[in-house]
Amino acid sequence: MQPVYTPSQLEKGFRALFIEQLMMEPMNLVADIATMLDSQSNDEDIAWLGDVGPIEEAEDELTFYGLSDTSYNLENKKYWGGLAIKRDDLNDDNVGGLRIRVMDLAQRARRKPNGLLIDALTNGTTATDFTGEAFFTATHTARGKASSSGELSNLITGDGTSTANCATNISEAIAALYNYEDEAGEPLNEGFSQIFIVYPPALHKPISESVRAGIISNTTNVQFGDHNISLIQTGRLTSDSAVDYYIGISDALVRGLVWQDREPVTFEAQEQGDTAFTKEIYMYKARFRGRAGYGRWQRLVKINNT
């Protein structure tokens, strides 16, 4: 005879299953392409995206520089998903279907930040960063002592999606990353070595070939041999973004994207009350609070083939 579980037993069992699935789920894109920010309130004013003052020759009195005039407010948002289970379905479940649904709820909660970060990428040509300009633009304004004649674009017009085209554009993007200057007029990305490329499935062949192939168009391909490049293929880049891709630095203190973490994923249950008593429906939800936003535009380049 199938046992009838009490609500407290149900919650404990489902919660354990939920947490187990969270731990089994691979690390999301936050660890790969974004800087994690710990949030303590509903929103955060991020004032450290600009640069500190330069290191100068000690000729006279030391000059103390205040914080760069940056202001970037990032308000946290709440995300949740619900699961309603009828008591009869629970007692009649002989194939583990409810177990799978709880695991799926945990999986969806774990992966949601991936979608929010990809949305930040695809919206970057219109959404603004701490400078007040679009995050991806060919006409960033020089700040401080940065050269106005230097590379001020992180939006590169793509040459196409062939292997040779991708090799050319990836090389151009990496060169741009090296050439960006900070507000003191010095190389901002000097010494970085870890690069990631986020791209749609349709571009897996040309991008992987452009980075890893020994020969492209009968020419020896040696331009990426000294770089540690991580390829991140995602089906979230589809539709209008199916031919665009993104190249960034992953070993920087502040990356191109940030993830503001306010409350981690939790599993909550409502197994008491009128709904549970009169309708015999138990309800569960997964929720978290956070926000995807923009860090330093000089650490992320978009190849625009659209």
Residues 193-215 pLDDT 10s: 899 999 999 999 999 999 887 77
Q: For 25-46, how does the pLDDT look when each residue is reduced to its tens digit (9 = 90+)?
A: 776 789 899 999 888 888 887 7
Contact 244, 303 (CB under 8 A): yes
Closest-CA residue to 228 (of 263, 257, 195): 195
Which portions of the chain are predicted below pLDDT 70? 1-11, 27, 48, 50-57, 62-70, 90-96, 147-151, 218, 222, 225, 239-241, 270-279
- Determine phi and psi for 252, rounding to 5 degrees: -95, 150
The pTM for the full model equals: 0.84
Determine the pLDDT at residue 270: 66
Structure tokens at 146: 């940065």
Token pair for residue 300?
């992320």
- Across-strand partners of 286? 81, 267
Residues in the chain, overall count: 306
> In the sheet that 228-233 helps form, which strands lie side by side, from edge to edge?
155-157, 300-304, 245-249, 194-199, 228-233
Please give the domain boundaries of the chain with CATH numbers for all domains. 7-51+75-304 (3.90.1690)
